Structure formats: structure tokens, C-alpha cells
Chains A and B, each alone.
Chain A
Amino acid sequence: MASAIFKEREKQVYLKGSRPFDLECEKESLAGAVSQRACVFCGSRVVLYPIADALHLVHGPVGCAVYTWDIRGALSSGPELHRLSFSTDLQEKDVIFGGEKKLYSALVELIDRHAPKAAFVYSTCIVGIIGDDLEAICRRVSEEKNIPVIPVQSEGFKGNKRAGYNAACRALFRLVGEGSTEGISPYSVNILGDFNLAGELWIIRDYFKRMGVQVVANITGDGRVDDIRRAHGAALNLVQCSGATMDLAVMMKEKYGTPVMRVSYFGIEDMAEALYGIARFFKEPSIMERTQQLVREELSALYPELQRYRKALSGKKAAIYVGGAFKAFSLVKAFRHLGMKVVMVGSQTGTQEDYRELEAITDDGTIIVDDSNPLELSAFLQEKEVDIFVGGVKERPIAYKLGVGFCDHNHERKEALEGFVGMLNFAKEVYSSVMSPVWRFVPKNSQGMLDGLSSHKEKILRCVS
């Protein structure tokens, strides 16, 4: 009998203040754990999905395509080709004899019917095993149809989501540099790593417009192939949050010298700091003036409303478990604006650097955790007597079962959480969940999810402290 729960994971949980900071991360998930993590394919699909005038064909068995069909709410202001689900739906005979013929004819048929600007072909686990030559087929179709047909090497087993981001970035990099840079202002940016969930990108674009900054390409929310092709003409790359598109920015910097700025559009400080940072970068007084004006306007509209929520939420406790760690920084700050305390924060794919920064901005006693699982998460929620949990689809019912409020800060949100208005939406959502009358009807039970497993609960907590 092991002395502690998931002995192998002990070092992936850290209690701030308990010992000098050390946290293991970027490890393979433990076999047998109920991991909340996804795969390489998932990462690639997430990044490239919002490019709306491209064809997205999943080469593999049907499931991988089904689970990524029209569930991301990445809105498009025009074409919506990305919302259909195309799969080569490999069958047993394809697994034995190879799926190349199938892939070729699927591509030809789809390109003929939909005339997309480009095509992305995703390889899934099985394709990696049967060894279809994706590169060759894509090249052939590309020549025949005269559009970029780009293989995305996203076999799921080759790592986690982060590796998928990298595969997506490599695919995108093939497009960059192909288009003309005519008409691009010296005060111009690319927006990287925003997926236009609930129309968030449109809020950010509006800010830039008001500042007098041109947006060359959104990569990838509400994305267009032709914009991406001329993205190397922009003066600055803005990389948002989780860093899903960081690899692309790095490649562009190396090849085209485009400078990179990391930003977050979540929460008041980070949003304002992003805009000021851009204004500072351009060293153009009129841009800075307009930026100050913009921030003033937005904040004066926001503050009184926010105060109402703050009053009710002050002193409540929050837990955060998200995909990328960068988002967590903004969330910690956003909760502070609401007078709330973050008592647990974790991510699926954080790096040493990420967690170090989390450690710096959180209070003593905060649990910091990497690649967690439902059993741990629910133990943390109960131990810390949390009022609201921020997470994704698999975390929601866990919170509810424990009688804890929930806010989806992942891809299923229907409310824009970016920008100044996003802060208000966030406050509203947190408020509605934390203060819902429904909790009055939930019989509280101190044992909670760990009924019958209470010895484990103790063990988890012991391994934390």
C-alpha cells in the first residue's frame, strides 16, 4: 500500500508558503489517473479551427472529427466552412491497406465543392501508425488545385495539447509570407492566440481601431487565409494568453524580424496594460493619447457597475483549473478586483516559469497544482471551502455536485470575457453562480465527493501540506 495518494504526483502539488517553491510539471500524465488533459490533435484542432475560409479535413477514424465538430463557438464574421465536420472515416480495410487514396479523393471532392482558400489535413493517432504519406498527398492536391493544402502532423500520442499547438503553428507558418504586404500601416499588429469565442476578438479589434492601430491578421479567431499570408507585414505580433501561438510568433521573429509582445485581454489591469504596451511600442504620442482616452472611457463606464458585484462577492473564495496557465494570472487578478480570494489554481499544461509566476502573485496557503484529476480537484474544493470554481466542461458537474458555483472560462462560454466589458460579464457570471438561490436547497455534506474514500482525502491533503 502506498503511503500517499498518487505518490508519483506529490511533487506536482504545491502549497504556497509551506516550503521553498518547487513544482514538477511538463510530465507525461500518470497511467491510470483520470487526467483532464487532451492530445496533440486536440491542440492543433483548437488553434486552427477558427480559420473560417479554410477546409479542415480530419484524416482518421470518425470519432476524432465528431468530438471537434462545431463545439467551440469561434465566431466568424463571414464564411463558416470551419463549422462543418469532414472526416475520412477510416475503416478496417483502410487501416490495413492505407488511407491515402481515400484522403486524396476526399480532398479533391471537397475542394471542388467548397472552393476553400486553403486546406488543413489533420493526422490522428492511427494515421501515424499506418504511415500514410500525408505530405505527399497534400503536395499533389495542392499542385492540382492550386491552393495551399497543408498537413498538420497532430498524431495524438506524440504528446499533449502543447505539442499540438506547435504542430498548428508549423502549419500556419507555411502560409505566412505568401501574400502581399501592400497597404500595411507602420502602426499595425497581428492578433495571435485569440479564438473569437463569443465574439471577443471583435471587442479587441474595436479598441485597436479606436487607438489608430491597424490589424493585419487575426490568428486564428475569425481567421482568413489571405490575411495570414500577409501577416509578416505587420509591425508587431501580439500573443495572447496560453501561448498556443507563441511558436508561430517565434518563427516569424526569426524569419521576418517581427517583434513579439505577450498580452492578456482578461481583467482590467491586463487589458489596460496590453493597450498601453502597444501604444508605448509604437512611440507615437497620438496613439498613446487615444489609448488613455479609451481606457478612461471604458473604466468610468465599468467601475460603478463592478462595485455592485464587488459588494456581494467580497470575501468569497475561488478555485481555478484551466488549460493554459497564462490565463490563470489574469483570473487571479480579476478575482481580486471582485474582492475575492483565489485559494487554488492549476492548469493542464503550465511550465515552470508559469507556475513560478503564479506562486509570486498568489497568497500564502494557495494550492498550486499541475495536471490534476477529479478526485484531487474535489478534495481541494472542499478543503478550501470554495464558493466558485473556474474550469472547463469536465469540471462543471464536479463543482455542481459539491454545491459549488461554476464559471466556464474555456471554449464553451457564450459570454465574452475579454476586454473591459468582459470583466463585467465575468463579474455577472460569477455573481449569478455564487449567489444562486439554488445553493440554499443543497444539503451540505462535509464528506462530499470522497464519501467512502475519506482516507484518501486525508492523504491528498497531507501530500499538499
Chain B
Amino acid sequence: MLDMTPPGIAERSALTINPAKTCQPIGALYAALGIHECLPHSHGSQGCCAYHRSHLTRHYKEPVMAATSSFTEGTAVFGGGANLRQAIKNIFQIYKPRVVAVHTTCLSETIGDDLSTLIAKAKDDGLIPEGSFVIHTNTPSYVGSHVTGFSNMTRSMVNYFAEPAKQKKGQINVIPGFVEPSDMRHIKMLLNEMGVKAVVFPDTSDVLDAPQTGSHRFYPKGGVTVEALKSTGSSKKTIAMGSFASEAAAQALMVKADVPYDLIDLPIGIAATDRFMQSLMDITGKEPSERILDDRGRLVDMMTDNQQYFYGKKVAVFGDPDHVISMTEFLVSMDMIPIHILTGTPGKRFEQRIREILKDVAPDARVKAAGDLFELHQWIKAEPVDLLMGNTYGKHIARAEDVPFVRFGFPILDRVGHSYFPVVGYRGAMHLMEKILGVLLDRKDRDAAEENFELIM
């Protein structure tokens, strides 16, 4: 399968080959798992739900629970209302969640089930126990991508829970975006270090990286609580990380509860993390702790020690837009040259941001939103790179073109570590840098002539 990509680049409009994205519900499902005691629910046929659970299970290596409305042919004709009612009833009886987070699928979107009405009716009819909640979001997969689904579900958390308050408290909101449990954990640690009180949502740490204790709870201990979500309306400000995954929720909070927001890039790499720190300082007046500053110092030290290996290296990056934007900037700050940058998620903002970052370094870089890996492969054939960064699906290209490859983003199906070691913050940047340096030097060793093969690099 490795030689089936011809080098000539053809414009395609009717066909996606080797997609660089997937569908909305899986993102919504992942976001929903970031609420404490939440059972995600897929309103559609059971196939989609089975696929989404399998895919997330492969990536996180954790049990991923979600219920489904189990549509049948009849449902497709008469609508999914009855199925949803029955599902809500069964779910509360058996699984006893605090929150059921419903997302639609292509099918229920197309037949046009009106979830707001269905849920309101279920509530009126007493199907939802006191103190429990059913929330929903619309996730048609013929629009956007899994990132859109994540963003939609995060926004629904605001729409359903945030309570407007005249009197703002000292706390802030942080919307970390479609990142790993380890990243969410690290962001909370940084906030804690700085003594900032914050609601981080969604928060999948301790849900999808639960420790092995020989006992597993159906609802692991992590996730943002309903109470915390309610209080987001009384926070003085929101920091939204990544415009694609987080801005919609921040905006909704501004509209609903008058909480202003700072939109920053995902804090991946040194400059983006600096901006995160700056934003925190501006909002709270607090200073980074000595520990944080030391971490930054160590990162810069590491960059200094190794800059000669990075200089001028050409890189191709693909993945989710917020990730790729920050990663591209980090690569530039390490003196590398990103020349092929692609995301499967549509959105003009992506190309604009990347162009901004690359304007002095690689003005001719190929940049594309709503692209696929077939195209990226063709770009690499046309102009080879020294490094490829992206999710597991990049491994075919890396092998075909014999390019060092660093796994980064979602999904990673064939390695571990991503859900345990953060890529955000200064420490995350050190971790990423170590991974990049590792593959570059391995390549150097592998290709070295016998007489040049030495213990020191």
C-alpha cells in the first residue's frame, strides 16, 4: 500500500483518501467523559457508537462507556423520539449517572430529531430524576470534524449549566481544548502552582487515565462536577485554549453570563506557554512560582544545548488545527522549517494563523485545511522532509518515504505515553523536544558511515 500514492498532485473535490479527520460524535463523546459521573449517549444507530467507543478505547486503552439509542429501520422512518425516551429511562434506572450527555449522529440529524424538545418532554414526564441532568449537542458529521464535535459538546456544558451571576468571584475558567488527560492534569497543576482558583472543563484526567487499583468504577473519580460547571457563570474571566475546540464555549459563556474571555493558542511549545502564563498574570495578578520559572529555564537550557541538531530541518505536520498551530510555532522557535502543514478539519482561521507564524521562515510553505493524508503524502513526495509529525495514520507515509516520525495528536493507536505524559506547558515542551531529538539522532546514527559512528553526538 506504500507505493500507491502517485507524485503528481491533482486537485480533488469529490473524494477523501486517507482522511486526516474523523466525525463529530467521537469528539462530543470524549468531551462528555470530562464531566464527573457522566454517561455519554449516542442518539443514532448502534454502529456509530460501537466505532467511537472502539476508537477511543484504542487511543486511551481505557474502558469507554456510552449508551446508544439503537435505531432501527422503523426509527429511521418515524423518528428517534421513542428510542430516546426509553433510553433515558433505562439509563437512569441501570447506570445511575449524574449527567447523560446526548449527541446526535448523521442519521438522527438527517431525520431531524429535535433533541431540545424531546429532552424537555422527558423532564416534564418525570423520566429524569431530581438532581440529574440530560444535556445534548448536535453533531452532524457532514459538517466539520471530531474537533467540531468536541467544541459543540463543550459549548453545551455552558448552555445547560452555567448560571449567570452579577457578582463575579475570584475564580477563572479554563477551557483546555481537545487534549489528553495528562495535559488537562498538567494545566490544573500549573494553575495550582500559581495559586489560581479555576474551573477546568471538560476535564478527562482521572477518567481516561484512571489508576489500576484492581477495582474499576463505572464512573471513575475524575471529571468536572455539575456544581463547578454551574459556577462558571460567576467566574471573572475565561481562558479558551485553541479557537477550534474552545472558543465556542467561551463565547457562549460571554453571551449567557457576561464572562469575558481570552483566546490563546494551546500552550504547546515555549512561546504559547509564555502567553498562557502572561494571560494568567494579567487576569489574576499572580506571578508564576519559582518551580514554573525553573521549568522554563530548563526548557531553554535544553533548547540551547541542542539547537545545532534542529537548525534548518524541514518538517511536515498534520493533525487537529489547534495542535498543529501551536506545534508549528514551536518548531519555528527551535529553528526548524515547517514546509507542509495540513489539517483535515475545515476552517479559514487555520491557514491564516499558520501563514502568520511562517511568514518570515517559510512563506512558501504548503498549508491546507480540510485536506487529507493522500495529499500530504504527495506534497512530501514533491518536496521531502526531515521529520514528520502527526497521529498514528502518518506511519504509512513515514515508512513509504523513510522519514523520522513523531506521533503527536489524536488518535495514537500504536504507542503508549500520550495519555500519561503531557505536551502542554514547559515540561510538555521538554518532552516533545526530547521525542523529536530522539528520532533525528536515531536517524543520524542509522545513516552514519562506520567511521563516523561514535558514542558522542
> Which A residues fall within an 8 A CB radius of B?
1-2, 5-6, 8, 28-42, 60-71, 80-81, 83-92, 94-95, 101-103, 105-106, 109-110, 113-114, 124-126, 128-130, 156-160, 374-375, 378, 393-394, 396-398, 400-403, 442-445, 447-453, 456
Q: List 9 A-B contacts (CB under 8 A).
A: A34-B66, A35-B68, A38-B50, A67-B55, A130-B110, A394-B64, A397-B57, A442-B212, A449-B215
- The stretch among B71-79, B158-166, B285-293 that forms the contact with chain A is B71-79
Q: Are B86 and A32 in contact (CB under 8 A)?
A: yes
Contacts of A113 in B (CB 8 A): 6
Q: State whether A109 and B23 are in contact (beta carbons under 8 Å apart), knowing that A91-B142, A129-B111, A448-B216 are contacts in the complex.
A: no
Q: How far is it, in angstroms, between the C-alpha of A35 and the C-alpha of B67 when the chains are bound?
A: 7
Per-residue interface assignment for chain B, residues 138 to 164, with 1 indicating a CB less than 8 Å from any chain A CB and 0 otherwise: 001111010000000000000000000
| Residue of B50, B75, B94 contacting most chain A CB atoms (<10 Å) | B94
Q: How large is the interface on B (under 10, 10 to 19, 20 to 34, 35 or more residues)?
A: 35 or more
Q: How far is it, in angstroms, between the C-alpha of A259 and the C-alpha of B19 when the chains are bound?
A: 43
Closest chain-A Cβ to B318's Cβ sits at a distance in Å of: 14
Q: Are B216 and A449 in contact (CB under 8 A)?
A: yes
Contacts of A160 in B (CB 8 A): 46
Closest chain-A Cβ to B136's Cβ sits at a distance in Å of: 15
Contacts of B142 in A (CB 8 A): 61, 90-92, 94-95, 126
Contacts of A70 in B (CB 8 A): 1, 396
Q: Are B219 and A452 in contact (CB under 8 A)?
A: yes
CB contact between A61 and one of B6, B72, B90, B106 (< 8 Å): that residue? B106
Q: Are B44 and A125 in contact (CB under 8 A)?
A: yes
Q: How far is it, in angstroms, between the C-alpha of A1 and the C-alpha of B93 when the chains are bound?
A: 7
Q: Are A445 and B48 in contact (CB under 8 A)?
A: no
- The stretch among B9-17, B186-194, B300-308, B429-437 that forms the contact with chain A is B9-17
Q: State whether A102 and B14 are in contact (beta carbons under 8 Å apart), knowing that A62-B141, A158-B73 are contacts in the complex.
A: yes
Contacts of B51 in A (CB 8 A): 38, 42, 63-64, 67-68
Which chain A residue lies CB-closest to B69? A31
CB contact between B70 and one of A6, A30, A397, A448 (< 8 Å): that residue? A30
Which chain B residue lies CB-closest to A443? B214
CB contact between B15 and one of A83, A110, A444, A448 (< 8 Å): that residue? A110
Closest chain-A Cβ to B238's Cβ sits at a distance in Å of: 29
Q: How far is it, in angstroms, between the C-alpha of A71 and the C-alpha of B396 when the chains are bound?
A: 13
**Residue B384 CB within 8 A of the other chain:** no
Which chain B residue lies CB-closest to A35? B46
Q: Are A374 and B63 in contact (CB under 8 A)?
A: yes
**Residue B53 CB within 8 A of the other chain:** yes
CB contact between A35 and one of B24, B70, B75, B393 (< 8 Å): that residue? B70
Contacts of A453 in B (CB 8 A): 96, 218
Q: Are B15 and A109 in contact (CB under 8 A)?
A: yes
Closest chain-A Cβ to B147's Cβ sits at a distance in Å of: 13
Q: Are A86 and B47 in contact (CB under 8 A)?
A: no
> Which B residues fall within an 8 A CB radius of A?
1, 4, 6, 12-19, 21-26, 41, 44-55, 57-58, 61-73, 75-76, 83-84, 86-91, 93-96, 105-107, 110-111, 140-143, 145, 210, 212-219, 344, 393, 396, 413
Q: How far is it, in angstroms, between the C-alpha of A335 and the C-alpha of B413 when the chains are bound?
A: 30
Q: Are B95 and A42 in contact (CB under 8 A)?
A: no
Contacts of B217 in A (CB 8 A): 449, 451-452
Q: How far is it, in angstroms, between the C-alpha of A1 and the C-alpha of B89 when the chains are bound?
A: 10
Q: How far is it, in angstroms, between the C-alpha of A456 and the C-alpha of B92 when the chains are bound?
A: 12
Q: State whether A128 and B57 are in contact (beta carbons under 8 Å apart), knowing that A32-B89, A37-B50 are contacts in the complex.
A: no
Q: Are A443 and B213 in contact (CB under 8 A)?
A: yes
Q: Are B76 and A157 in contact (CB under 8 A)?
A: yes
Which chain A residue lies CB-closest to B85? A31
Q: Are A31 and B84 in contact (CB under 8 A)?
A: yes
Q: Are B140 and A31 in contact (CB under 8 A)?
A: no
Q: Are A403 and B15 in contact (CB under 8 A)?
A: no
Q: Are A37 and B46 in contact (CB under 8 A)?
A: yes
Q: Are B45 and A63 in contact (CB under 8 A)?
A: no
Contacts of B12 in A (CB 8 A): 109
Q: How far is it, in angstroms, between the C-alpha of A32 and the C-alpha of B86 when the chains are bound?
A: 7
Closest chain-B Cβ to A436's Cβ sits at a distance in Å of: 13
Contacts of B111 in A (CB 8 A): 129
Which chain B residue lies CB-closest to A8? B90
Q: How far is it, in angstroms, between the C-alpha of A125 and the C-alpha of B71 when the chains are bound?
A: 10
Q: State whether A374 and B76 are in contact (beta carbons under 8 Å apart), knowing that A33-B70, A84-B1, A445-B214 are contacts in the complex.
A: no
Q: Are B45 and A125 in contact (CB under 8 A)?
A: yes
Q: Are A456 and B19 in contact (CB under 8 A)?
A: no
Closest 5 CB pairs of A and B: A39-B47, A63-B23, A32-B90, A32-B87, A445-B215
Contacts of A84 in B (CB 8 A): 1, 4, 17-18
Q: Are B16 and A62 in contact (CB under 8 A)?
A: yes
Q: State whether A125 and B57 are in contact (beta carbons under 8 Å apart), knowing that A5-B94, A445-B213 are contacts in the complex.
A: no
Closest chain-A Cβ to B12's Cβ sits at a distance in Å of: 7
Contacts of B64 in A (CB 8 A): 394
Q: Are B215 and A39 in contact (CB under 8 A)?
A: no
Q: Are A450 and B218 in contact (CB under 8 A)?
A: yes
Q: Are B107 and A63 in contact (CB under 8 A)?
A: no
Contacts of B14 in A (CB 8 A): 88, 101-103, 105-106, 109
CB contact between A31 and one of B23, B53, B90, B213 (< 8 Å): that residue? B90
Q: Are B63 and A398 in contact (CB under 8 A)?
A: yes
Q: State whether A32 and B15 are in contact (beta carbons under 8 Å apart), knowing that A81-B1, A126-B106, A445-B214 are contacts in the complex.
A: no
Q: Are B15 and A88 in contact (CB under 8 A)?
A: yes
Which chain B residue lies CB-closest to A128? B76
Q: Are B70 and A28 in contact (CB under 8 A)?
A: yes
Contacts of B110 in A (CB 8 A): 95, 125-126, 129-130
Which chain A residue lies CB-closest to B12? A109
Q: Are A69 and B141 in contact (CB under 8 A)?
A: no
Q: How far is it, in angstroms, between the C-alpha of A343 and the C-alpha of B173 when the chains are bound?
A: 50
Contacts of A452 in B (CB 8 A): 217-219
| Residue of A33, A114, A393, A448 contacting most chain B CB atoms (<10 Å) | A33
Q: How far is it, in angstroms, between the C-alpha of A412 and the C-alpha of B6 when the chains are bound?
A: 30
Q: Are A38 and B15 in contact (CB under 8 A)?
A: no
Which chain A residue lies CB-closest to B219? A452
Q: Are B215 and A447 in contact (CB under 8 A)?
A: yes
Q: Are B18 and A6 in contact (CB under 8 A)?
A: no
